[in-house]
Amino acid sequence: MKVCPGFRISPMSRSKSSSKRPLWIIVLVSLVCILLIMVYLYPPQQYSSCYLLSSKFCGHFEYWLPPISAKVLNDDELTARVVMRDIISMPTVPSKNPKIAFMFLTPGSLPFEKLWDKFFLGHEDRFSIYVHASRHKPVHVSHLFIGRNIRSERVAWGKISMVDAEKRLLANALQDTDNQHFVLLSESCVPLHNFDYVYSYLMETNVSFVDCFGDPGPHGAGRYSEHMLPEIEKKDWRKGSQWFSIKRQHALLVLADSLYYTKFKLHCKPGMDGNKNCYADEHYLPTLLNTADPTGITNWSVTHVDWSEGKWHPRAYRAGDVTFELLKNLTSINENVHVTSGFKRVVMRKPCLWNGMKRPCYLFARKFYPEALENLMNIFSNFTVF
Ligand SMILES: *[C@@H]1O[C@H](CO)[C@@H](O)[C@H](O)[C@H]1NC(C)=O
Ligand SMILES: *[C@@H]1O[C@H](CO)[C@@H](O)[C@H](O)[C@H]1NC(C)=O
Ligand SMILES: *[C@@H]1O[C@H](CO)[C@@H](O)[C@H](O)[C@H]1NC(C)=O
Ligand SMILES: *[C@@H]1O[C@H](CO)[C@@H](O)[C@H](O)[C@H]1NC(C)=O
């Protein structure tokens, strides 16, 4: 736009003679009108013409400039960003025998080990098992689980020790370069499909299944602390269930990160900042992966849990609840739901897209009481026909 130079003429004509005042006022008013019309018709996109001029009039156009958002990163942030970017775009070590690592985070023995044994049987070369038992040494009933306990430490609910246990499992599982996908499971989780289905669901895609959403309510944004600045801004704060299923690059990324991890360790814990509660296991991974690789995660978890009763704990299934119909229902869900916390309770539903196609969302489910084992064993082969 060549409107700015026009204004520079006017002060000169003003100084010439006062007798010409009406004329220059008319010229000025018409120039302003033309200018306004032009600005309206051609909203400025490039500001170079004004940047080149020091005119006071041009200065007013700074209103039109978008805020300069390119954040200046400190050394640690810059280092973390480049390392994370390259880990994400790295091809994985080629494997002749790609496997899924099933990582069990449990206080002790696994009540559904017999069911998992049934699930794994016949697929011995395509999985590996890791058990982190944080309280009691587990008693194993399946030979597939024997010798699979890793060195473990105490885990306190909601504290950083939970994330530490997850990282310990990942570090053990990453030692085996055949492991390409890493699934975190609890002692109350059960499989909803047969092994072949689970294997192709997780392996024939290039994303991680990590639950992640922005909850503006007290149990989401309300847990954020300003102490996390400058690395973690409130707008990047995310929440999600801890039960992830992630690809190898993301597993490596979690272990490579110390910048974000340290922020969570220091500033996300129960009873912080006076009376606020923050639970690192519900925020660390979603926030980290959403920052590092937002399109590389699905934003939902493949482990189903039923929060619909609106209580402090999710619904737990008793033996009597476990019917063919219940499991059929769980396996046919193809939409994921996020509900914001607080009075508003905004419900967000999204289709579960797998490689762009609408598919059932869930491969595993929790929480089941140990007493449900018998029924699950009886109907497992019936509902996992595919
Ligand atoms: C996954 O693969 C699809 C197509 O094959 C590609 O468009 C997409 O960018 C890939 N995503 C990631 C995170 O690598
Ligand atoms: C997940 O959510 C983030 C925003 O939080 C978005 O940028 C990203 O595209 C979403 N991923 C998918 C696969 O929809
Ligand atoms: C299965 O889903 C149907 C339809 O949503 C519902 O009416 C039924 O109660 C569900 N059954 C169980 C056992 O959850
Ligand atoms: C599972 O299927 C078998 C054979 O088709 C049948 O005998 C059995 O009753 C079924 N069990 C349940 C719980 O539906």
Q: What is the mean pLDDT of each run of 10 residues along the chain (386 residues)?
A: 37 44 70 62 43 43 49 86 92 89 97 95 96 95 96 90 96 96 97 95 96 87 82 89 96 94 89 79 94 95 89 90 92 92 88 95 96 92 65
Q: CB of 323 closer than 6 A to ligand 4?
A: no
Q: How many CB atoms lie within 10 A of CB 11?
A: 11
Collect all residues with Cβ–Cβ distance below 8 Å to 87 and sequence separation of at least 6.
249, 252, 253, 256
Q: How remote is the CA of residue 296 from the centroid of ligand 2, in Å?
A: 8
Q: What is the pTM of this model?
A: 0.81
Q: Which residue's CA is minimally distant from atom 11 of ligand 2?
A: 295
Which atom of ligand 3 sits closest to the CA of residue 323?
13
Which atom of ligand 4 sits closest to the CA of residue 375?
13
**Among 291, 300, 288, CA closest to 207:** 300
Question: Which residue in the block uniquely carries the two structure tokens 């590389």?
Answer: 296
Return the domain boundaries, the chain: 75-300
Q: How many CB atoms lie within 10 A of CB 229?
A: 12
Q: CB of 326 closer than 6 A to ligand 3?
A: yes
How much is the pLDDT for 225? Answer: 82
Q: How remote is the CA of residue 233 from the centroid of ligand 2, in Å?
A: 17
Three-state secondary structure call for residue 18: helix
Q: Whole-angstrom Cα distance, residue 54 to residue 56?
A: 6
Q: Which residue's CA is minimally distant from atom 6 of ligand 3?
A: 329
Ligand 1 pocket, CB under 6 A: 206-207, 295-296
Question: Which residue in the block uniquely carries the two structure tokens 């996109």?
Answer: 45
Q: CB of 241 closer than 6 A to ligand 2?
A: no
Q: Are 102 and 127 in contact (CB under 8 A)?
A: yes
Q: CB of 298 closer than 6 A to ligand 2?
A: yes
Q: CB of 333 closer than 6 A to ligand 3?
A: no
Three-state secondary structure call for residue 178: coil
How much is the pLDDT for 45? Answer: 41
Q: Whole-angstrom Cα distance, residue 42 to residue 36?
A: 10
Amino acid at position 363, single letter: L
Q: Which residue's CA is minimally distant from atom 5 of ligand 4?
A: 382
Q: Does domain 75-300 have CATH number 3.90.550?
A: yes
Q: How remote is the CA of residue 296 from the centroid of ligand 1, in Å?
A: 8
How much is the pLDDT for 5? Answer: 37
How much is the pLDDT for 36? Answer: 62
Cis peptide before 191 (omega within 30 of 0): no
Ligand closest to CA 338: 2
How much is the pLDDT for 13? Answer: 40
Q: CB of 351 closer than 6 A to ligand 2?
A: no
Cα 372 to the center of its chain, rounded Å: 31
Q: Whole-angstrom Cα distance, residue 279 to residue 159?
A: 6
Question: Which residue in the block uniquely carries the two structure tokens 């170079």?
Answer: 48
Ligand closest to CA 384: 4
Q: How remote is the CA of residue 139 from the centroid of ligand 4, in Å?
A: 30
How much is the pLDDT for 71? Answer: 73
Which atom of ligand 2 sits closest to the CA of residue 214?
5
Q: How many CB atoms lie within 10 A of CB 31?
A: 15
Q: Whole-angstrom Cα distance, residue 23 to residue 331?
A: 80
